[in-house]
Structure 1
């Protein structure tokens, strides 16, 4: 299976909306519940434009036909923290454990180097072992725990704060 990683573009809006709908309906550990995210093409188009216009990073992974994953890195806006970017990644279940996450991080780290970003950070539900292992593999460290930060499936879950410092 050939996977292409590239920048998300404005013309990806329809396909990206379809991808988000699939992701939200199958991803166990994403922040939003099924049907909770506003997957309106106008809203998503505005989000895509905002990321592009701000110079932040958003990559998509495509197989031969469809978007199968995305990764976004958004910088802080304040002068004292604009060297910090927060990362969110989502990959469809059938495409997990195929190296896409590692490819996303190579792109994000290159983008960070070109944009004077020195700190990448993210949160992840502690039980999401596959994601935690990926983040550790690409150099992230656990900096803290947000106890009972997420509620789903009738119980509370802890989130890990993780970060990678770039030289």
Structure 2
């Protein structure tokens, strides 16, 4: 397994991984089949992130296959430029192997070099494994978003907003 920064050539493998995550868990934002992004569109998204200079995606590669990723999206307005929003996902077969912690360590080292002060994420309250990972990485619960997500089964779920100050 290799953790590295994404490239535009990863567009198809990244999209395949995202669609697999959509199928494997209700804890990601997109429902199965909802993600309509094409490979060309995904390549453009990756290009924009890499061109930004303050946002990044790290992937966990197993050969040509991607099995996990962490995205750090920088906020653009000057007053919140020090803030980055995080999205992370790891395929089910590869969870519990320390990949999440490794992704966070890699991202945090990069974030320090790029003058971030505040890292934010949200997590569905029922997602205990992710919540424990984030707490282990030094994030703290900052707030609760009531009925923030309506699951495909009609069940409302709450999310924690979490933050880590660097």
Q: TM-score range by the shorter chain?
A: over 0.9
TM-score where L is the length of structure 2: 0.96
Q: Distance in 1 between matches of 2:114 and 2:36?
A: 30
Name the SS of the counterpart of 2:150 in structure 1.
Answer: strand
- CA–CA distance in structure 2, aligned partners of residues 17 and 150 of structure 1: 23
Output the CA distance in 1 between the equivalents of 2:128 and 2:17: 23
Any unmatched runs of 5+ in structure 2?
Answer: none
1:160 counterpart residue number: 160
Residues 61-72 of structure 1 aligned to structure 2 (within 5 Å)? 61-72=60-71
Checking the alignment, whether the CA contact within 8 Å between 1:21 and 1:39 is kept in structure 2 is: no
Task: Report the alpha carbon displacement of residue 65 of structure 1 after superposing the two structures with TM.
Answer: 4.3
- Stretches (4+) displaced over 3 A: none
Distance 1:50 1:123 in 2: 23
| Contact kept? 2:13, 2:64, Cα under 8 Å | no
Q: Does 1:92 align with 2:80?
A: no
* TM-superposition CA deviations, 1:139-163 (whole Å, max 9, x none): 0000000001011122110000000
* 2:110 counterpart residue number: 111
CA distance in 1, matches of 2:98, 2:135: 14
TM-score normalised according to structure 1 size? 0.95
Instruction: Count residues in correspondence.
Output: 164
Q: Which runs of 5+ in 1 are unaligned?
A: none
Give the superposed CA RMSD: 1.0
Specify the alignment match of 1:131 in structure 2. Answer: 130
> 1:52 matched to which residue of 2?
50
Q: Whole-Å Cα distance in 1 between the matches of residues 5 and 25 of structure 2? A: 22
